[in-house]
Amino acid sequence: MQFCSMLILLLPLYSFSQADTSIAADTASKHSLYAGAGYGSNMIYLGSTISGSQPFGYGSVTFGFNNDFFASVSAFHLSGNKPFMAFYSGSLNYNHVFNSWFDFSAGLSGYKISPELAATFFDDFLYGDATLGIDWKLIYSQFSAGLLIYNGNKGYFQIKNSRYFQTPALFNSKFYISFDPYVNFLFGNIITAESTGGNTMTLPFNGKGKGRPQQPATIYNESFSMIETDMGIPVSFNFDRLTIEAEPGYVFPAHNSTGFSGSKGFVFLLSGYFRIF
């Protein structure tokens, strides 16, 4: 699962220019509360698999104000690992649609892993980003710049192009199906480890962290370049208060690595969200 999909975990009902939120958004109330749950085949975040190429499940609660400000907390389970809740996340997000073709969003999210699993998966980290969305009518483009605070600050840039469309509303305008196919290009910092055994490439979550000393006789170099291209076809079944979404996708790494695996190939995410009020 890619970073753009991770926003769905933390902020279930984004309101951007192309999306028709006539069912999901209730402008009569400034406050909203959502409960969510889901399952994924592999959690790929900023080009790295933070679930260790394993399936995961999650539960989340999101509070919204005025359909602009959102606060969310989530808990994640990794199959075959203890404790049951492997790590937690929290986020604060702001998004605003200025008109039919332009919107803006910004967010800050943090991840906290159980101490028993930190040496195996990743260390605690924060990520902040800002995104501009432009609706060109034929496609909807998002330009996102972010900063990862983890073992030294690292920058990222993403360009996502998508095309949202939906079926007519059915059952007294209480149900419709929506599709949002996309292609996303991710740029960021790649760490190259040069050793006598050959060259390997790793990414931030798999580089040196707490309890992971650098290998002897190894030279580490860091550069900013393209990390991967990913694409997906989210399909959502939208009811009055319930949304169920299935997202098959595929990840194409832009680098070769003998020491890094898991951030390529087919991925799948199934999510459900219920609006409590």
Structural domains of the chain sorted by starting position, each given as residue range(s) with its CATH number in brackets? 3-275 (2.40.160.40)
- pLDDT of 149 reads 85
- pLDDT of 177 reads 96
Burial class (CB within 10 angstroms; exposed 0-12, middle 13-18, buried 19+) of 171: exposed
Cα gap 14→224, rounded to integer Å: 29
Over the chain (277 residues), what is each successive 10-residue block's mean pLDDT?
45 49 56 96 88 93 94 94 94 94 96 89 90 95 92 87 94 92 92 66 51 61 87 95 96 72 83 95
Cα gap 208→261, rounded to integer Å: 16
Cα gap 54→103, rounded to integer Å: 35
Task: Please answer whether residues 92 and 104 qualify as being in contact, where contact means their C-beta atoms are separated by less than 8 angstroms.
Answer: no
- pLDDT of 95 reads 94
Helix or strand run (H / E) with residue 53: none
Task: Please answer whether residues 111 and 124 qualify as being in contact, where contact means their C-beta atoms are separated by less than 8 angstroms.
Answer: yes
What pTM value is reported for the model? Answer: 0.85
Task: Please answer whether residues 248 and 266 qualify as being in contact, where contact means their C-beta atoms are separated by less than 8 angstroms.
Answer: yes
Q: How many CB atoms lie within 10 A of CB 19?
A: 19
- pLDDT of 194 reads 72
